[in-house]
Amino acid sequence: MRPRRIERTSLTNLIRQGDAQLEAGAVPPDTVPTGFPSIDKLLGGGMRRRDLIVVGGDVGAGKSALALALALLLGLSLKAKVSAATPSAPTDIFNCTPSTVAAFTDRVHVSCNPADGSIAYFAYCSTKDSATANRFLSVFTTAKALGKGVNIYFNPSDTSGTSCGCQSANCRVITGAEVRP
């Protein structure tokens, strides 16, 4: 029995082959588009299994927001459940199509279309926990950008959002949110 011949290719040749495939428009089969065309172009069509991508930048440049948005968009494209939640247990769920998403110094705010009765707005006071506020903001902006609905978890009797500008008559504090497929 003859030993099997292993073809050895230099790193330069492998890179040339990969570049030629990308220039021809070939996208590897395990590629998942990120949802950001400019990033997909840089990555050769999107992210692939076993890829490691390093993002660098100045403080406040948006590295974490980009990573959250990519995770949300990739999760949605793979039909994964995308959500954010606070430790407290939700008592009610509202199906929301975000019409406006806003970030203020003291809260993340979303208005829903159509609104349920007198409650038209939902907020998370960012003074409680800025990391959770960023997660909620990413969930809502992703849903709005993709035209997706969101399940918002809240306690109908909780009017504590008045401390950060939420009106007690038509706004409730968010305890969780997930983008609907």
Greater confidence, 164 or 6? 164
Q: How far is CA 92 from CA 14, 102, 127, 157, 176, in A?
A: 55, 22, 23, 10, 10
Over residues 32-45, mean pLDDT = 78
> Residues 60-89: pLDDT tens digits?
777 777 777 777 776 666 555 555 555 555
Which residue, of 77, 98, 128, is where some domain finishes?
77
Q: Does the pLDDT value for residue 146 go beyond 70?
A: yes
Which residue, of 77, 97, 125, is where some domain finishes?
77
Q: Does one domain contain both 29 and 44?
A: yes
Q: Does one domain contain both 103 and 66?
A: no
Q: Which stretch of 60-69, 153-162, 164-173 has the lowest confidence by average pLDDT?
A: 60-69
Q: Are 110 and 101 in contact (CB under 8 A)?
A: yes
Which residues span the domain enclosing 17? 11-77
Greater confidence, 131 or 1? 131
Q: How far apart are CA 172 and CA 32, in angstroms?
A: 36
Greater confidence, 86 or 10? 10
Q: Does one domain contain both 40 and 88?
A: no
Q: How far apart are CA 72 and CA 15, in angstroms?
A: 30
Residue 4 burial (CB < 10 Å; 0-12/13-18/19+)? exposed
Return the H-helix or E-strand segment holding 66. Answer: helix 63-77
- Looking at every residue in the chain, the average pLDDT score rounds to 76
The CATH number linked to 113 is 2.40.50
Instruction: Give the chain's domain count.
Output: 2
Percent of the chain with pLDDT over 90: 1
Q: How far apart are CA 103 and CA 165, in angstroms?
A: 12
Q: Does the pLDDT value for residue 11 go beyond 70?
A: no
Q: Does one domain contain both 101 and 59?
A: no
